[in-house]
Chain A
């Protein structure tokens, strides 16, 4: 066959075939590239999240070839994504909030922390739409659960009534306020002027409520493991003190 015939066969038959094949292959390749790109991100949670998010985005790109282009764009953005997702300090509106999170060694979204630190008197005075009460409610549950869990596991032989008594000795307003005072929580609470003038910054009820709200905020934003971690850091000294003095009392009475 002449060279012209070969060129004809190549351009008229093979090339369209190859292009059609490539066209069918594109979406598959694009998906593979996106999945691979997402897997290059640091944290497992990020990998799972962006894989789904990017695939959703990819599925909305029309055309097979442009879908491949979009996939390559995701692959090219991986270094910037990794930089973006690196652990960073949150941008707190109030510098004292940045101080508080570093004192407590927690990570919590600034807007959530702000809600948790907002006493209802401040919200009322300033017309803010949020106060800490919702976070107090959930923080109260988390605190009770974590303390009970710690007592339950570390004292397998303790009778029920003792267990309940020990928990009540750890989870009460006065004990909570004492813990709050160890890191001067009062300085960070957002109070109305009136409440502040009446000594609200050192009032046990406000300190205890705010501490619960912070635990609640960490739970809502970061999950139970982080909230439990914080609770244990703050309350383990109180727990061991309680069990210590309770054991002594039992020795004396027994």
Chain B
């Protein structure tokens, strides 16, 4: 399925995060998980939203918490299969960005042999 714009590696990273992430993904969290700067992630999210792959909605603000709200992003029913197809084509094996399993970092005995 043609997206109508060039799909960069950063876009693939963002799609990967959206595919694997929970339902409370906001811009900064996606940027961190993708290992990309927010200045690059927000334009990508905006583009994906424009073509209908991604939808977004404000977090439900509790009355106690005043101030700017986060906006949660998720893949649409069009975006999920599209992203899977695209990642399958461009990334033969799913590349993991987090290089160390958490258990290794948390447990020195497991980490150093």
Interface size on B, residues (CB 8 A): 31
Complex contact A74–B78 (CB within 8 A): no
Q: How far is the CA of A130 from the CA of B78 in the complex (A)?
A: 13
How far does the alpha carbon of A80 sit from the alpha carbon of B8 in the complex, in Å?
13
Residues in B with CB closer than 8 Å to A149 are none
Name the one of A53, A81, A84, A114 contacting B70, with C-beta atoms under 8 angstroms: A53
Which B residues between 49 and 82 are near A, CB-CB below 8 angstroms? Answer: 50-53, 55, 67-71, 76-78, 82
Q: How far is the CA of A90 from the CA of B43 in the complex (A)?
A: 16
Judge whether B108 is part of the interface by a CB distance below 8 angstroms.
no
Does any Cβ of B come within 8 Å of A169's Cβ?
Answer: no
- The segment from B13-21, B33-41, B90-98 that touches chain A is B33-41
B51 lies within 8 A of A80 (CB)? no
B81-113 CB mask vs A (1 if < 8 Å, else 0) is 010000000000000000000000000000000
**A88-B78 Cα distance, complex, nearest whole Å:** 16
Q: Please state if B68 and A83 are interface contacts (CB–CB under 8 Å).
A: no
Cβ-defined contact, B28 with A57, below 8 A: yes
Partner of A52, one of B4, B38, B68: B68
A84 touching B44 by the CB < 8 A rule? yes
How many angstroms from the CA of A103 to the CA of B67 in the assembled complex?
A: 43
Listed by A's residue number, 16 A-B pairs whose Cβ atoms lie within 8 Å are A49-B71, A53-B71, A56-B68, A56-B69, A73-B39, A74-B42, A83-B43, A84-B43, A84-B46, A85-B50, A88-B4, A88-B47, A88-B51, A90-B50, A91-B4, A93-B1
B interface with A by C-beta (< 8 Å): 1-5, 26-28, 37-40, 42-44, 46-47, 50-53, 55, 67-71, 76-78, 82
Residues of A within 8 A of B (CB): 49-50, 52-57, 59-61, 70, 73-74, 76-77, 80-81, 83-86, 88-93, 109-111, 114, 130
- List 4 extra interface pairs beyond A80-B40, A88-B50, CB under 8 A: A52-B68, A86-B50, A88-B4, A93-B1
